[in-house]
Structure 1
Amino acid sequence: MKMKKDYAALGLALVLAACGGAQTPAPPTDSTLSQDMDTGRDAVGLDRLAVAEQQYRAAGQRAVARDDVTAIGDAGYNLATVQLDENKPQDALATITSTRAALALRGQAADDTGLDLVQAGALHRLGREAEAAKQAALAAGAQDPDIAEKGQFIRGLIADESGDDATLASVAAYFETLTGKLPDSWSADAKEMAARNLLATGGSAQTAWQDALQAATIRQTQVHYRDMARALGVAARAATRAGNAQAAAQLYARASQSARQAGDTTAADQWAKLAGTASVADPFAAPAATPTSSKRRP
Structure 2
Amino acid sequence: MSMNKNCATVALALVLAGCGGGQQAASPTDTTLSQAMDTAGEAVGLDRLAVAEQQYRTAGERALARDDVTAIGDSGYNLATVQLDANRPQDALDTIAATQAALAVRGQSGDDAGLDLVQAGALHRLGRDQEAAAAAVRAAGAQDSDIAEKGQFIRGLIADDSADHATLASVAAYFATLAGRLPPNWSADAKEIAARNLLATSGDARTAWQDALQAASIRQQQVAYRDMARALGVAARAADRAGDGQAALRLYARASQSARQAGDTAMADRWARLAGSSVPADPFAQPAPAHTK
**Residues 73-88 of structure 1 aligned to structure 2 (within 5 Å):** 73-88=73-88
Post-superposition offset of 1:184: 2.1
2:8 maps to: none
Aligned residue type for 1:3: C
Aligned residue type for 1:105: V
Q: How many residues in Structure 1 have an aligned counterpart in Structure 2?
A: 276
* In 1: Cα distance, 2:95 partner to 2:264 partner: 21
Kept in 1, the 8 Å contact 2:84–2:92? The answer is yes
* In 1: Cα distance, 2:182 partner to 2:56 partner: 29
1:2 maps to: 18
* In 2: Cα distance, 1:177 partner to 1:102 partner: 38
Aligned residue type for 1:238: A
**Residues 1-298 of structure 1 aligned to structure 2 (within 5 Å):** 1-4=17-20, 8=25, 29-293=29-293
Post-superposition offset of 1:7: 7.0
Aligned residue type for 1:2: G
Bigger drift between 213-222 and 172-181 goes to 172-181
Kept in 2, the 8 Å contact 1:199–1:208? The answer is yes
TM-score, L = length of structure 1:
0.90
Q: Rg bigger for which structure?
A: 1
- Quote the RMSD (CA, aligned, Å): 1.3
* In 1: Cα distance, 2:252 partner to 2:227 partner: 14
* In 2: Cα distance, 1:110 partner to 1:2 partner: 23
> Deviation above 4 Å: which 4+ runs of structure 1?
none
Bigger drift between 194-203 and 173-182 goes to 173-182
Post-superposition offset of 1:291: 1.1
Kept in 2, the 8 Å contact 1:7–1:71? The answer is no
What is the SS of the residue equivalent to 1:120?
Answer: helix
Aligned residue type for 1:107: G
What is the SS of the residue equivalent to 1:124?
Answer: helix
Aligned residue type for 2:108: Q
Q: Which string of whole-angstrom CA distances, capped at 9 and with x for unpartnered residues, describes residues 28-79 of structure 1? A: 7101100000001000000001100000010000000000000000000000
Kept in 1, the 8 Å contact 2:20–2:144? The answer is no
Kept in 2, the 8 Å contact 1:253–1:278? The answer is yes
Aligned residue type for 2:18: K
Aligned residue type for 1:110: G
Which runs of 5 or more structure 1 residues have no equivalent in the other structure?
11-27, 294-298
What is the SS of the residue equivalent to 1:267?
Answer: helix
* In 1: Cα distance, 2:253 partner to 2:205 partner: 19
* In 1: Cα distance, 2:184 partner to 2:213 partner: 14
Determine which structure has greater relative contact order: mean sequence separation of CA pairs < 8 Å that are 6+ residues apart, divided by chain length.
Answer: 2
Q: Which string of whole-angstrom CA distances, capped at 9 and with x for unpartnered residues, describes residues 165-190 of structure 1? A: 00000000000011444222210000
* In 2: Cα distance, 1:250 partner to 1:131 partner: 34
Kept in 2, the 8 Å contact 1:9–1:34? The answer is no
Post-superposition offset of 1:9: 6.0
Aligned residue type for 1:100: Q
Q: Which string of whole-angstrom CA distances, capped at 9 and with x for unpartnered residues, describes residues 129-149 of structure 1? A: 000000000000111100000
